Amino acid sequence: MNFLVKPKLTKREKLSVALGTSLVTIFLVLQFVLLPFLNAREKVRHSIEVNEKALEEIVALSAEYRALSVDSGDIGVTLARRPKEFTLFSFLEEQAGRAGIKSSIKYMKPSLSTDATPYKESSVEMNLEEITLRQLVEYLYLVESPENLVRLKRVSIKQSKDKPEYLTVLLHLATYQQKLPDTRP
């Protein structure tokens, strides 16, 4: 018996085998070449879109950072011009004397922030009782001081129940101070 003898196929069988081989070849090319290429191309396109959005965000954050750095530099210059012995508490108390409302101060509560910025925020909560609207406006005019970086963060105003011409005011004022260098070993 000779197994090496090629069987004779009819024309129709040859056409079927050629067609089957072609279909299998097309399937294999599609499955292992074309589809992975198209998937990779889609992944690259998606990655480019994601990275473009990330780049836009980085550019926007960079611009914001530069603006904040400039503002921070302005704060540093303003703080350098301010007297070394400046404290918010004493400044507010002094301005209360100038506005004639020192006797209306019920309490003043100072606090400091612990932010990781080069500046720390110093703030004072202040309760004023039995002052007129005119006195309040004059006091706010005196204390909101761009040259000393003092700003009003919050205000709560209530009309006095006993004397309607007077107000009870809760102020929260703040400024910045240069952080002292950490000298701990």
Distance CA 124, CA 122 (A): 7
Per-residue pLDDT tens digits for 16-60: 999 999 999 999 988 988 888 899 999 999 999 998 998 888 888
Query: Which CATH class, in words, describes the domain spanning 88-178?
Result: alpha beta
70: helix, coil or strand? helix
DSSP 139: H
Given this model, what pLDDT does residue 180 score? 60
Distance of CA 38 to the CA centre of its chain: 39
Q: What pLDDT is attached to residue 90?
A: 93
pLDDT for 110 beyond 60: yes
**Nearest Cα to 99, choosing from 153, 144, 163, 152?**
144
The full set of domain ranges for the chain reads 11-81, 88-178
> Percentage of residues in the chain with pLDDT exceeding 90?
43
Q: Looking at residues 135-141, what average pLDDT do you find?
A: 93
Q: Tell me what the pLDDT averaged over the chain comes to.
A: 85
User: Given this model, what pLDDT does residue 170 score?
Assistant: 95
